[in-house]
Chains A and B, each alone.
Chain A
Amino acid sequence: QSALTQPPSASGSPGQSVTISCTGTSSDVGGYNYVSWYQQHPGKAPKLMIYEVTQRPSGIPDRFSGSKSGNTASLTVSGLQPEDEADYYCLSYAGANNLGVFGTGTKVTVL
């Protein structure tokens, strides 16, 4: 399985929105509604932000939202805040008997 494709970087000013794409194939992103997103600050463990494409775990602000169209999933962070500056990774289920596949990661900078 090849890594899902994410843009290396994205940025926005405080209060603005940023959207990160995650492109796979019909064998992963396009084939199932099991895409999750993780936020990782430097030196820290990843944190689950979105699961099953659109679902937010308890405690995650509604500024974070997910969507999917075809083979591309997206994470939108609205009302950017300084603490949103981090690396973001998508992860997609890739079928029975397979481990999921992570995206290449996107560094979000709050200007």
Chain B
Amino acid sequence: EVQLLESGGGLVQPGGSLRLSCAASGFTFSSNAMSWVRQAPGKGLLWVSAITATGITTYYADSVKGRFTISRDNSKNMVFLQMNGLRADDTAVYFCARGGSSGRLDYWGQGTLVTVSP
């Protein structure tokens, strides 16, 4: 059974940093691209970042480019999202999903809430 479990969310002040983690199991992690998608309270979905199976290529939404960094550790079946320079409009539930830029996000975690507030 495919499982994705996010962690690392919480309350952070504007300008602060957080590192989200996603632990994957139930599939060959090193053969799959991975993504982060976020959803602000009461709003729609935004694809934040993606990373290829090898980790060589990464993608970012314009709104987070230069502030967020996606990475992965294929030896530990984990994907990470380092978030720096956080702003109030980064407040959202962040979902980890299996899949990459082709858009077939076939498994999702339950999400972790990030709140950016003074």
Contact = CB atoms under 8 A, between A and B. Distances in A.
B104 A99 contact: no
Interface in B81-102: 95, 101-102
- Of the four ranges (under 10, 10 to 19, 20 to 34, 35 or more), the interface on chain A belongs to 20 to 34
Contacts of A97: 59
A40 to B, nearest CB: 8
A92 B101 CA distance: 9
Contacts of A35: 103
B11 interface: no
Nearest to B107: A48
B111 to A, nearest CB: 6
A93 interface: yes
A52 B104 contact: yes
Interface in B20-50: 37, 44-47, 49-50
A47 B49 CA distance: 18
A102 B37 CA distance: 10
Interface of A: 1, 3, 34-36, 38, 40, 44-48, 51-52, 57, 89, 91-93, 96-105
Interface of B: 37, 44-47, 49-50, 59-62, 95, 101-111
